[in-house]
Chains A and B, each alone.
Chain A
């Protein structure tokens, strides 16, 4: 029991990190797009848990709402709209599958070269900036809102215009001619 209270967060990281990675591999390797969508959902939810472990409570909820809810529904809706069972069964991977392995190798080398002798600071507990607003302990949502609406108000408004443009574009693309 004492082991769990001391190393619980570390254990959670390994469990949900492995789950997220396994589900990601499932997205790439499964044949049926519906199974891919379910694997993608598992990956999204595992990453939401990892956000919680790093003190990003607001982002974890946004992850569940936007990815687990909105984007997932979009994917499932399109899969059902297209109904691939009527289509001919074909190969899963394209003719350039070996290019994927080359890209993985190159990216791996770049990563090792960039990070091999890296030293990161590892605070033991969640930083006070995550939950405190001007010395008051209010919570993570308030702290994020404080930074978002004071320092990054213009980008926030630009994002809302971007979402409007994306919505109009999606409606135009999906419209019957």
Chain B
């Protein structure tokens, strides 16, 4: 087995970065607000993975405790985000973000 196959903290950091990247690209490119919120969850999840990996590397539980808080905030964010989505759908009969243009005159 080569050194690249010995899984260490760097592997987790790279994987977490790739998940973060996919999530950020999803937030920017998609039009459907449901999928944008899903990409947001992916980003938060990748951050949790990073916290857990560094918690293991440092032998310190604080990273895991912080991830618990992060999951709680993600749950609240999902509830409010989907509430806004339902309100937008009632107003505009669409979930596409391009159609929410009331502020652009």
Residues of chain A whose beta carbon lies under 8 Å from any beta carbon of chain B: 7, 9-10, 13-14, 17, 20-21, 24-25, 27-28, 33, 36-37, 40, 43-44, 47, 50-51, 54-56, 58-59, 62-63, 66-67, 70-71, 74-75, 78-79, 81-82, 84, 87, 90-97, 99-101, 103-104, 107-108, 111, 115, 118, 120-123, 126-130, 143-144, 147-148, 151-152, 155-156, 159, 162-163, 165-167, 169-174, 176
Name the B residues within 8 Å of A122 (CB-CB): 8-9, 57
Q: Does B28 contact A (CB under 8 A)?
A: yes
B69 touching A159 by the CB < 8 A rule?
yes
22 pairs of residues in contact across A and B, judged by CB atoms under 8 Å = A7-B5, A20-B19, A24-B42, A27-B26, A50-B49, A54-B12, A55-B56, A56-B52, A56-B67, A67-B45, A71-B75, A74-B78, A78-B85, A87-B95, A92-B31, A92-B32, A100-B28, A123-B59, A144-B64, A159-B73, A170-B82, A174-B87
Q: How large is the interface on B (under 10, 10 to 19, 20 to 34, 35 or more residues)?
A: 35 or more
* Residues on the A chain within 8 Å of B26, using CB: 27-28, 100
Asked if residues B83 and A28 are in contact (CB atoms below 8 Å), the reply is: no
Count how many pairs of residues, one from A and one from B, have CB atoms less than 8 Å apart in the complex. 244
Given contacts A25-B22, A104-B25, contact A147 B65 (CB under 8 A): yes
Judged by DSSP, the binding face of A is helix
Q: Does B6 contact A (CB under 8 A)?
A: yes
Contact of A163 among B8, B58, B76, B93 (CB under 8 A): B76
Query: Does B72 lie at the interface of the complex (its beta carbon under 8 Å from any beta carbon of A)?
Result: yes
Interface hits, B5-26 → A, CB 8 Å: 5-13, 15, 17-26
Q: Which 5 A-B pairs have the closest CB atoms?
A: A173-B83, A166-B76, A127-B59, A120-B9, A28-B26
Is A87's CB under 8 angstroms from B94's CB? yes
In the assembled complex, the Cα of A103 lies from the Cα of B86 at a distance in Å of 29
